[in-house]
């Protein structure tokens, strides 16, 4: 296995670029989690609408969205 030997300056440069990469990846990961939650809710609502179309009855009220007390948006 080849080990990349970095000098002092190289280490700092690599560190800075890795920090940037991690920041972007973390952001994308958080957004992906949120999008998957939205997708789950869409599927849930689609099932409710489908059930309503089949029975012709009034639909059961949809369950409340997952509780979010966090600062991060529900928007």
Partner 1 sequence: MLTAAFALAFFYAPTDADQGIIQKIFYVHVPMAIVALCGFVAGGVFAVMHLRTRDRKWDMRSYVAIHLSIVLAVGVLLTGSIWARASWGHWWVWDEPMLVVFLIVFLLYATYQPLRFSIEDPEKQATYASVFAITAGAFVPLCFSAVRMAQGLTHPQAGTMTTSGPASVSQTFLVALLGMTLLFITLWKYEMASKNASSKLRSLRRRLAGDDDFAPASGRSAAPQL
Cβ at position 69, least distance to partner 1 in Å: 6
Nearer to partner 1, 1 or 58 (CB): 58
5 touching partner 1, by CB under 8 A? no
For residue 29, how many other CB atoms are within 10 A of its CB? 10
- Residue where the block lists tokens 């939650």: 37
- Residue where the block lists tokens 């789950």: 40
Identified binder of partner 1 from the candidate list 25, 47, 50, 59, rule CB under 8 A: 59
In angstroms, rounded to a whole number, what is the distance separating the alpha carbons of residues 58 and 24? Answer: 45
Identified binder of partner 1 from the candidate list 12, 29, 43, 47, rule CB under 8 A: 12
């Amino acid at each position: 296995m080849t080990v990349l030997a970095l000098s002092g300056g190289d280490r700092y440069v690599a560190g800075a670029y890795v920090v940037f990469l991690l920041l972007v990846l973390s952001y994308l990961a958080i957004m992906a989690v949120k999008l998957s939650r939205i997708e789950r809710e869409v599927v849930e609502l689609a099932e409710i609408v489908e059930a309503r179309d089949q029975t012709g009855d009034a639909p059961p009220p949809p369950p409340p969205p997952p509780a979010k007390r966090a600062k991060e948006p529900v928007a």
